[in-house]
Structure 1
Amino acid sequence: MNDTAVRVLVPTGMIGAGFTPETVARGLELGADVIAVDGGSTDSGPYYLGSGTPKTSAAAVARDMRILLRAAAQAGIPLIVGSCGTSGADSGVDWLAGITDGILAEEDLRLTVATIHSEQEPAYLKERLGQNAIHPLPPHGPLDAATIDGCARIVGMMGHEPIEAALRAGADVVLAGRATDTAVAAAFPLMKGLPAGPVWHASKIVECGGQCTTNPRSGGVLATIDHDGFTIEPLDPTAACTPASVAAHMLYETADPFRMREPAGTLDVTHATYEALSDRIVRVTDSVFEPAEQHTIKLEGARISGYETMSFTGIRDPHILANIEHWAALLDKVLTDRVHQTLGLSAGPDGDYEFDIRLYGHNAILADLDPATGPAREVGVLLLVHAADQATATAVAKIANPLMLHLPTVDMAYLPSLAFATSPAETERGAVYEFVLNHVVDTDDPTALFRTEIRKAGNRA
């Protein structure tokens, strides 16, 4: 490896999303020193943290891991996966570790594997809360002990330090719990002594693989980081990086396109420059990193907010479609009245249940902000009923059944026939989770909140 540069191969934005073996082989040919890939996200909501289950299929993850483990063994370079199992919960780390162990045995690959668990004990967090060491991030307010106790799971979002420690301890493969997307790519080059500004900026750009290229579907990228900056190159020869495509990724999932906070400090790209070295390679310089006075670890927690039952019906009747918002308001009123008459239950945030009517094909996504005018040709009506228990949610949805099948507008002289998408019409979704933690905890030791186990090659059960 060139002592003045580190090449980070990022094959995809998330393990299990898929990539071609050829792009990984291309990365090895270009001299990759480490393979880094994200394994999770909060994008798909709180269910995966609350339930401790992954959103990706084991078969898809195993397919990707087999390619990457072979590549890491072939090249003699580390493989790092962060936020395992979608949420980074301990069960997700163990799930991916089991998949990894199976592949290593099948392929006869003798690689040392480190697992880093990131779930947090409520008792410890309440102790830190009492020491005024937990602080809210906007828009949340102060945390209380009851919220901590109410969480099904809480994870701490690690920076690069626990991953670097595992690499220094001899790990060939690092399977980390919840981690910042950037920490996965930053750990190895920081360990090699490269400056934090270029490292963190490069790691941010490559976090989603090919998303910083002109063809996000083409696969991953290779970042070459040196003491003065970094270059980004697509692994697919038919794709390209441009100054605009690279710079634009600083807009992705950031409140400020020029500054991004990590546990150890803040990346500042205000004065960064982006230069096209060719028609497909971009060089970036003048990125800086400001160390924080206080190292912090972000906490993510999910709790059960209730239980949900869903129904979905389709409307093609032109008269209803021309008056769809009036029809939805009528459905809201009639359902509320009938539930009260039949079950004696009241609706609303302080009542026995809540429900939501979403008009897909009309304004389900943008609601009142939707600029579209005129009636749609067809609309799908999604009813979500939320209650403290499943039986209540389903009972309300069943009362809605005849309304979602035949409810006319007030001026219709006939009963329309609408179309349920499924039979039975009601689908019980089970427990529904909500995120309730958006806080950071102060720590003087960046590795203290995380638990690392290293299993030497050949010493697996």
Structure 2
Amino acid sequence: MIAKTYPVKIFTPAPMLGYGYDIVDFWTIIMDERTRPDAIIMDSGSTDPGPYMLGSGRTIVSKQALMHDLSPVLEACADFGIKLLISSAGGAGTNEQVNFLVDVVREISERKGYKFKVSTIKFKNDRQAILKKLQAGAITPCGPGPALKEEDVLNAVAIVAQMGAEPFMKALEDPEVDIIISGRSYDPAPFAAYSMHRGVHRDPAWHMGKIVECGGQCAVPKGRSILATMYQDSFELTPVTPGQRCIPRSVAAHTMYEKTRPDRLPGPGGVLHLNNVQFKQQADNRSILIHGATFVPTPTYQIKLEGATQVGFRSAFIGGIRDPILIRGIDDFLEQTVRARTKAAFPLLGEAAGPQLIFHIYGRNAVMGPLEPATTIPHEIGVLGEVVAETQEDADAIAGLARVMVLHAEYPGQLATAGNFASPLTPLEQSVGPVYKFSVYHLMDVEDPLSFFPIESFFIGSPNDNKTKPVPSERPVRRAEDVVTTLPEAPRHNITSSRPRISDLAAVVRSKNSGPYEITLDILFDDAGIWKHVRDSNVLTPEAMKRLYRLADDDILTCMFFEPALGWKCTFKRPANQLQGSVGERDTFGTQLHAPLLDVEVPALNLA
């Protein structure tokens, strides 16, 4: 264990490795001894895009994007002895993606003349061990998903597990290790692990990790890079880009981001309790000091399993309709004419085990589907036809016929006989490829947090026998006189209206997926008085959400106000036929389901 010296500085240049960052911001932090970090830590994966990355093995960003982001990072690590931790390599965090990222680091290191000791942390993908856990009753659903079955484990094309902090801390016990590259991990884990390795208490370590794993997204306006300064029982966040600042609302917002509840954040080995968290703006009006969270260990240590199964192949076509006569009768046209004629040629279409044809009507209800409360008739619509079948050939054939029917079939009152469909792309149908679903998204009890995550260490890069120092790149830094001191203005609220709406009063209104089975809605306010008024107005109750989103009684998982964040959160189950990123998906990331909240009316505020 290294000496407990505070503060500990952790730098996250980007919300995700490969998403890019400002090179001037980067070198300004690195070259200044006052801000130079002890570690650079970056997340590299997510289930937000659905199961495709895990099922297909494709990386979430290109090799070129990884090379672009890693080249300055490796140069800084080589020159200044900065530790580098990268989690969930490649996107899904498979063992193959860990190897891929190691090869990228090796290629840069050999070309530049760096030498690093690297530790990899992979997943011991022992299906028989998982099945034994299942048979012992030690695997349960994560969220409102179905119970795991043996065939789900056996048929999955890939399975990974989210590691906690312990594997990272084990790898850090070797003081010679320069770089740690891990498979799938709980997003905050490497941040918490490095902090605890340096003697920071687990409470602020885990809270910081939850916020910083998305980089500068916790700043206003949203940024890319963030610097965390860790003390033993608290931490400070400072955005890197001039003109950005961290404020209580923006940091609180990211604390509760994409989680089922705002006050309890479960993870491997415990739950982070946030009821007593406090956010204190610092004298520079850009940084914020945070403390008060409590990490409560759970009696049983659990890791989350993620697995994907292929369900078929997809083909798609897209086009627009501007004819108001056809738009008025679009449902009957697509269902009774297009679908019926396509099914006549492909009789198994729509059967339980047969091909599926789904129409997404943009401009009406393509995003929200059965949750959509609006009933207005648009002046134009876009139609995306999605076909999923057992083979790509079948999907292409069905999509081809369905598109022709949309283009040329007749409809009542038709005046335009040349065609019904404005097609922007050729080829007119697109072969999309394999389609997957999350078949494994479950919590597994483990006795040892390290047992499924073997660590391997080795040297990579150039031996540099001549002891010549690599030639540094240009390192642009921001001069003090170039720094913009103007900070974002406080939002202006329309509080004088006799019937203000949520969009008039809130600072943040958003929606997001919370895993593959849930959608979570967040509203945050800058003003405590406005927050209390909305809370006491009873316009954001479970009953109101059931009416607004057409939900059943048991659909709502959380609906509560949360004072430490001046926020409100409602989490509900996804529609059963809309598995995230799979057949019929409408909004993989869940980011456009907040819109009905904007128009919720609130009683007039008493300004006396």
**Deviation readout 1:261-306 (Å, 9 max, x if unpaired):** 1212111111011010131010011111111211111000001011
Task: Please name the residue that 2:23 is paired with.
Answer: 21
2:106–2:460 CA contact under 8 A, matched in 1: no
Task: Please name the residue that 2:210 is paired with.
Answer: 204
After TM superposition, the structure 1 = structure 2 runs for residues 365-444 of structure 1, keeping only pairs within 5 Å, are: 365-370=367-372, 372=374, 374-415=376-417, 416-444=419-447
Task: Please name the residue that 1:7 is paired with.
Answer: 9
Task: Please name the residue that 1:338 is paired with.
Answer: 341
2:339–2:402 CA contact under 8 A, matched in 1: no
1:313–1:405 CA contact under 8 A, matched in 2: no
* Cα displacement (A) at 1:374: 4.1
Moved more, 195-204 or 185-194: 185-194
2:359–2:385 CA contact under 8 A, matched in 1: yes
Corresponding residue pairs, total: 455
The residue matched to 2:395 in structure 1 has which SS? helix
**Deviation readout 1:47-100 (Å, 9 max, x if unpaired):** 100011102011111110111111122221210111111100112111111100
**Deviation readout 1:169-228 (Å, 9 max, x if unpaired):** 2321111100111012111111122111111111111111111001223x3111111122
Partner Cα distance (1:100, 1:53) in 2? 18
**Deviation readout 1:353-377 (Å, 9 max, x if unpaired):** 1111001222211235445564434
Moved more, 227-236 or 394-403: 394-403
**Deviation readout 1:14-35 (Å, 9 max, x if unpaired):** 0010002222223332131111
The residue matched to 1:257 in structure 2 has which SS? coil
Match of 1:99 among 96, 104, 108: 104
The one-letter amino acid of 1:95's match is F
Task: Please name the residue that 1:158 is paired with.
Answer: 163
Partner Cα distance (1:301, 1:368) in 2? 28
Partner Cα distance (1:64, 1:344) in 2? 51
* Cα displacement (A) at 1:442: 1.1
Unaligned segments of structure 2, at least 5 residues: 464-608
Partner Cα distance (1:346, 1:84) in 2? 39
Partner Cα distance (1:45, 1:174) in 2? 26
2:142–2:304 CA contact under 8 A, matched in 1: no
Partner Cα distance (1:236, 1:444) in 2? 44
* Cα displacement (A) at 1:259: 1.2
Partner Cα distance (2:161, 2:349) in 1? 39
1:250–1:258 CA contact under 8 A, matched in 2: no
Task: Please name the residue that 2:546 is paired with.
Answer: none
**Deviation readout 1:346-400 (Å, 9 max, x if unpaired):** 424x142111100122221123544556443432110001122222222221221
Partner Cα distance (1:447, 1:2) in 2? 24
The residue matched to 1:420 in structure 2 has which SS? coil
Partner Cα distance (1:329, 1:123) in 2? 50
Partner Cα distance (2:143, 2:183) in 1? 24
Distance 1:343 1:458, change over 3 A: closer
Task: Please name the residue that 2:468 is paired with.
Answer: none
Match of 2:39 among 31, 34, 42: 34
1:24–1:71 CA contact under 8 A, matched in 2: no
The residue matched to 1:8 in structure 2 has which SS? strand
Partner Cα distance (1:73, 1:124) in 2? 40
Task: Please name the residue that 1:139 is paired with.
Answer: 144
Distance 1:117 1:459, change over 3 A: farther
Query: Does the alignment pair 1:454 with 2:457?
Result: yes
1:339–1:345 CA contact under 8 A, matched in 2: no
The residue matched to 1:181 in structure 2 has which SS? coil
Match of 2:299 among 274, 293, 303: 293
Partner Cα distance (1:408, 1:376) in 2? 21
Partner Cα distance (2:138, 2:178) in 1? 35
1:313–1:404 CA contact under 8 A, matched in 2: no
Match of 1:347 among 330, 341, 350: 350
Normalising by structure 2, we get a TM-score of 0.72
After TM superposition, the structure 1 = structure 2 runs for residues 245-284 of structure 1, keeping only pairs within 5 Å, are: 245-278=250-283, 279-284=285-290
Query: Does the alignment pair 1:52 with 2:57?
Result: yes
Query: Does the alignment pair 1:176 with 2:179?
Result: no
Task: Please name the residue that 1:125 is paired with.
Answer: 130
* Cα displacement (A) at 1:143: 1.4
Partner Cα distance (2:97, 2:340) in 1? 44
* Cα displacement (A) at 1:345: 2.6
Q: Which is richer in helix? A: 1
2:141–2:147 CA contact under 8 A, matched in 1: yes
The one-letter amino acid of 1:327's match is I
The one-letter amino acid of 2:310's match is I
Match of 1:309 among 286, 308, 315: 315
Partner Cα distance (1:158, 1:199) in 2? 16
Partner Cα distance (1:47, 1:226) in 2? 39
The one-letter amino acid of 2:414's match is M
1:46–1:435 CA contact under 8 A, matched in 2: yes
Partner Cα distance (2:301, 2:376) in 1? 54
2:115–2:461 CA contact under 8 A, matched in 1: yes
Residue identity over aligned pairs, in percent, reads 32
Match of 2:222 among 209, 212, 216: 216
Normalising by structure 1, we get a TM-score of 0.94
Unaligned segments of structure 1, at least 5 residues: none
The residue matched to 1:290 in structure 2 has which SS? strand
Partner Cα distance (1:256, 1:427) in 2? 40
Moved more, 225-234 or 79-88: 225-234
Partner Cα distance (1:432, 1:387) in 2? 9
Partner Cα distance (1:272, 1:15) in 2? 29
**Deviation readout 1:404-439 (Å, 9 max, x if unpaired):** 213343222442442222222121112100011121
Partner Cα distance (2:332, 2:205) in 1? 53
Partner Cα distance (2:321, 2:313) in 1? 27
Moved more, 367-376 or 21-30: 367-376
**Deviation readout 1:140-170 (Å, 9 max, x if unpaired):** 2321211101100000101111112112123
Task: Please name the residue that 2:448 is paired with.
Answer: 445
Partner Cα distance (1:103, 1:410) in 2? 64
Distance 1:2 1:190, change over 3 A: closer
